[in-house]
Amino acid sequence: MRIDVLTLFPGMFTGPMDESILKRARATGKLDLRIHNLRDFTHDRHRTVDDRPFGGGPGMVLKPEPIFEAVETLKAEGEPPWVILLSPAGRVFHQGIARELAQRPRLLLICGSYEGVDERIRQALVDDELSIGDYVLTNGALPAMVIIDAVTRLLPGVLGDEASALDESFSQGLLEYPQYTRPAEFRGMKVPEVLLSGNHAAIAQWRAEQARRRTAERRPDLWARWLAEHAAGDSSRTRTGSQGAAENPG
Ligand SMILES: C[S@@+](CC[C@H](N)C(=O)[O-])C[C@H]1O[C@@H](n2cnc3c(N)ncnc32)[C@H](O)[C@@H]1O
């Protein structure tokens, strides 16, 4: 997958995008990440990208001209990208959106700065507007990196063990079950017996129960959605009734 990023702060991407799974995905060509400085699409001596808001008010707004020029230039290079504006006003990013985006051959992420971007950018250039949560960050670089990370780990072959992406929190609409490693007893705290049993069916059942219990306790919103989906689609669960399942996630 190719991902282009348009930002005023390309240096912020150095480091986070050069470590761990992202580093490997880039080295093996599974992720073609290109970070572009918005100032490279200006033509005045001061490389101006912002201006005061019409109507007054604090702060500066990113001007339309450099962003239009950048997006049009990048769009002309090969496969048309799915253009995403990072914005607190976008739909809130989650694993389902990461899965949708991972299917696309190319993304172009526009990072806002200052008070945000001129509204005509939203109107004319953008396919999707995404927020990473209900809080305000200084600019769109961190949100862009969050999205790049979440999407990249879903690309085929990026995680060494393909199964691990299927098992993780949110992949089946549930939080992940508790994990343990050696030693089997640490400071009096014991690993649940079933995990030491070697009985794979019993382990799978324990994990499924734990995932449901943890989701019901910690994320009633996810749990209600999971129940609704499984009550509709799963006849064995329908037999026990969704209300019973809600009271007894295990
Ligand atoms: C300081 S913010 C602008 C906030 C804007 N004035 C508002 O009240 O919504 C500057 C830029 O950071 C990015 N940003 C900040 N918080 C974000 C969030 N939660 N999700 C996605 N992008 C965010 C956006 O690109 C935004 O244009």
Q: Is 132 in the pocket of ligand 1 (CB under 6 A)?
A: yes
Contact 226, 169 (CB under 8 A): no
pLDDT at 234: 60
Going by C-alpha positions, the residue among 85, 94, 82, 151 that lies closest to residue 118 is: 85
pLDDT at 228: 95
Q: Is 143 in the pocket of ligand 1 (CB under 6 A)?
A: yes
pLDDT at 223: 97
Pocket test for ligand 1, best of 60, 86, 92, 130 (most atoms within 8 A of CB): 86
Q: What integer best gives the mean pLDDT of the chain?
A: 93
pLDDT band at 241 (very low <50, low <70, confident <90, very high): very low
pLDDT at 238: 37
pLDDT at 245: 40
Ligand 1 mean position, distance from CA 117 (Å): 9
pLDDT band at 6 (very low <50, low <70, confident <90, very high): very high
Reported as a single tens digit per residue, the pLDDT across 156-181 is 999 986 557 777 889 889 999 999 99
**Cβ partners under 8 Å of residue 23, min gap 6:** 17
Report the pLDDT averaged over residues 105-116. 98
Ligand 1 mean position, distance from CA 86 (Å): 7
Q: How many angstroms separate the first and last alpha carbons of the chain?
A: 39
Reported as a single tens digit per residue, the pLDDT across 46-103 is 999 999 999 999 999 999 999 999 999 999 999 999 999 999 999 999 999 999 999 9
Q: Ligand 1: which atom is nearest the Cα of residue 117?
A: 27
Residue with tokens 């990461």: 98
pLDDT band at 188 (very low <50, low <70, confident <90, very high): very high
Is the model's pLDDT at 113 over the cut of 90?
Answer: yes
Q: Ligand 1: which atom is nearest the Cα of residue 135?
A: 19
Contact 82, 128 (CB under 8 A): yes
Q: List the Cα angle 88/94/99 in 5-degree steps.
A: 125
Reported as a single tens digit per residue, the pLDDT across 123-161 is 999 999 999 999 999 999 999 999 999 999 999 999 986
For residue 13, with 0-12 CB atoms within 10 Å meaning exposed, 13-18 middle and 19 or more buried, which class applies?
Answer: buried
Reported as a single tens digit per residue, the pLDDT across 191-231 is 999 999 999 999 999 999 999 999 999 999 999 999 999 98
Is the model's pLDDT at 244 over the cut of 60?
Answer: no
Contact 110, 6 (CB under 8 A): yes
Domains of the chain: 2-152 (3.40.1280.10), 169-247 (1.10.1270.20)
Q: Which residue has the higher pLDDT, 234 or 203?
A: 203
- Exposure string of 167-176, with b = 16+ CB inside 10 Å and e = fewer, is eebbbebbbb
pLDDT band at 36 (very low <50, low <70, confident <90, very high): very high
